[in-house]
Structure 1
């Protein structure tokens, strides 16, 4: 049983980190470039809808599960003295923690400000609301994407070294 956990958790970690990275990647290469083409009101309304829809159990499983699985994997590697595998595992964990920090420091406050603006149809100056949101949110999402991909690569290397 313990051996199965030692095998399953690192695999689960790679899968969850892959989903984690894929989410940010999809926003970087498709969602936000698509919304860039939309009018101000449509962009605000769509992102407000996305910000509500994303708060669901599957998102929570990935957003919280990836760092937990990475932590368990890194701790297991450290306990058994796995050498370079431990370094790769902890690097993956550090990258994920950086993504979470960025999310709470930059992206969520922008999401909250967008919600606080009220329904898109009632926003007096949609261009200003969009301007305060989009460029900063997108820039930090690109950073989250790169860090998430780094975490995925590191966790995959750690898995390969087992």
Structure 2
């Protein structure tokens, strides 16, 4: 059981780290870099990114951050030493904040961009950008911060197991 818990905890830590890196990377580089684009080019860029990001590598980290954290919590409940459990639960909750925020906020905004169709045919690309850009960036900051905090909580959980020493 200890080995399975350790594997789940490490997988949760790694997937939270992948998501923290991706989402915070968007916050400090991708979105500021795209800001210089005109409205049509901005819509086109986001549409393209949203299409290509749905792949196995992304989904493994995105879904894994929650699934592996949940597995680590469940397995941690069966350990004699449960000192890591509060930190593992915190990591799970924070990964859930990111997951739920993504599904409730960022994905609908991505869907709105996709539903707009060909950026070259948009009558008012500036209105679409105004509708999507600020809330998308705001919720991206939330999910990136949540995953970063999840990473810290899971790292502390690993440390408290004594296996990291």
> Taking structure 2 as the reference length, what is the TM-score of the superposition?
0.93
The whole-number CA distance in structure 2 between the counterparts of 1:81 and 1:30 is 44
Instruction: Give the equivalent residue in structure 2 for 1:120.
Output: 119
Instruction: Give the equivalent residue in structure 1 for 2:57.
Output: 58
Instruction: Give the equivalent residue in structure 2 for 1:23.
Output: 22
Consecutive unaligned residues in structure 2, runs of 5 or more: none
Higher helix share: 1
The whole-number CA distance in structure 2 between the counterparts of 1:79 and 1:149 is 27
1:110 CA displacement: 0.5
Aligned pairs (5 A) from 1:9-158: 9-158=8-157
The whole-number CA distance in structure 2 between the counterparts of 1:103 and 1:81 is 35
The whole-number CA distance in structure 2 between the counterparts of 1:8 and 1:138 is 33
The whole-number CA distance in structure 2 between the counterparts of 1:66 and 1:8 is 13
Q: Secondary structure at the match of 1:79?
A: coil
CA deviation vs aligned residue, 1:121-157 (integer Å, no higher than 9, x gap): 1111010010001000000110111111110000000
1:78 CA displacement: 1.9
CA deviation vs aligned residue, 1:33-76 (integer Å, no higher than 9, x gap): 11111111111000000000001011111111111111111111
Instruction: Give the equivalent residue in structure 1 for 2:5.
Output: 6
Q: Secondary structure at the match of 2:77?
A: helix
The whole-number CA distance in structure 2 between the counterparts of 1:97 and 1:15 is 15
The whole-number CA distance in structure 2 between the counterparts of 1:70 and 1:113 is 31
1:82 CA displacement: 3.5
> Taking structure 1 as the reference length, what is the TM-score of the superposition?
0.95
Q: Secondary structure at the match of 1:73?
A: helix
Q: CA RMSD in A?
A: 1.2
Deviates more, 1:96-105 or 1:41-50: 96-105
The whole-number CA distance in structure 1 between the counterparts of 2:2 and 2:102 is 35
Deviation beyond 6 Å, 4+ runs, structure 1: none
Aligned residues: 161
